[in-house]
A = this chain, B = another copy of it.
Amino acid sequence: MDFIQRSKRAREKLASEKLDAILLTNLTNITWLSGFSGSAGRLVLTEDKMLLVTDGRYDGQAQEQIENSQSGAEVVIENAKQKEKLLNALSNAKRIGLEADDISWQMQRTLDAEWFQDKSAELVPTEGFIVELRRKKDEGEVARIKAAANIADQALEAVLPLFTKEPTEKQVARELESAMFEFGAAGISFETIVAAGKNSARPHARPQNTSHLKKDELILIDMGALVEGYHSDMTRTFTIGDPGKIQTAMYELVSKAQAAGVSTVKAGVSCDEVDAACRDIIAEAGYGEAFSHSTGHGVGLDIHEMPRVSQGSKDILQEGEIITVEPGVYLGDYGGVRIEDTCLVTKNGCEVLTHSEKKFNIS
């Protein structure tokens, strides 16, 4: 985890956008830049200073995390003197960026009225300032996302034998989550999706206590683990017995589309090309309308982050980005099929980080 490089890149961006400072309010962006992961904080970055402001609960944790990250942030615990310290650090700043897509209107109004009214500084709205920088992962980040993906792989393998015993969706979700903890996850990446039969037709189905995994039906699993704040994301669709012709055709189609998408991923390729590689195959087979979401998204400290792998996305893939490729087809009572891998973009292609076998029939 190279925090010095991160602040260097952020400062270069400040200069290129003619900003003297930026005030970060988004906690994930603060974690990325400083290493601090508490639930309350703001961070000011100037050309030569980084100030992390947090409250008394994080006295101790903040110093420890900043020391570990070597990000060079100075920790300011909220008290009567914090305003003075912050204004001091910003004394020469004429243009101060705010994270307009994160900071509340209320906080912007307060800063404007109470902090900067007698100062000739301008509060400038920025969008995606840090989020764009977070796209390219450093070695430490890649290692953590790989570890998270491995944990999910191991957990799925461990729990797979349960699938044939007609468990409920909720039981399977719980077992998968317990197994991820057993294999070393610090948490789950998102609420695990276990969707059986027609429930699999809802892309964001929530596991139910009343719905059982049954023979001759589809079983969709979407899961990920969390390692030191970093996420993984993987979907597999299974069946036991004979799911029927339509479902089998859906699986083969999505499988083909997903492989085509993954084979398109490469530094320099635009995200809409990856989306089109999946979408065209599904559309040509006449299922275009049944693929109702985008093909993928970046993965990192957030489960959904930049870039957008969707129709019309102009984002160009760079070496070191980590994205998902996850086409799906959803057909009401027939159920749904989705297959998803998390992929590290390389110079000549990509490295797939999710290794669970793509075996449809597990009878």
Contact = CB atoms under 8 A, between A and B. Distances in A.
A104 B106 contact: no
Interface residues of A, number: 25
Interface string A124-165: 010100000000000000000000000000000000000000
Contacts of A94: none
28 contacts: A56-B292, A57-B203, A57-B204, A57-B293, A60-B202, A61-B202, A98-B105, A100-B104, A100-B105, A100-B106, A100-B109, A101-B104, A101-B106, A102-B104, A103-B104, A103-B105, A104-B104, A104-B105, A105-B105, A105-B107, A105-B108, A105-B125, A106-B125, A106-B127, A109-B125, A174-B178, A174-B181, A178-B178
The quantity of this chain's copies bound in the complex is: 2
Interface of A: 56-57, 60-61, 98, 100-109, 125, 127, 174, 178, 181, 202-204, 292-293
A105 to B, nearest CB: 4
Contacts of A106: 100-101, 125, 127
A158 to B, nearest CB: 16
A102 B109 CA distance: 13
Contacts of A104: 100-105
Contacts of A292: 56
A203 B56 CA distance: 11
Given A57-B293, A60-B202, 4 more contacts: A61-B202, A105-B125, A174-B178, A174-B181
Contacts of A127: 106
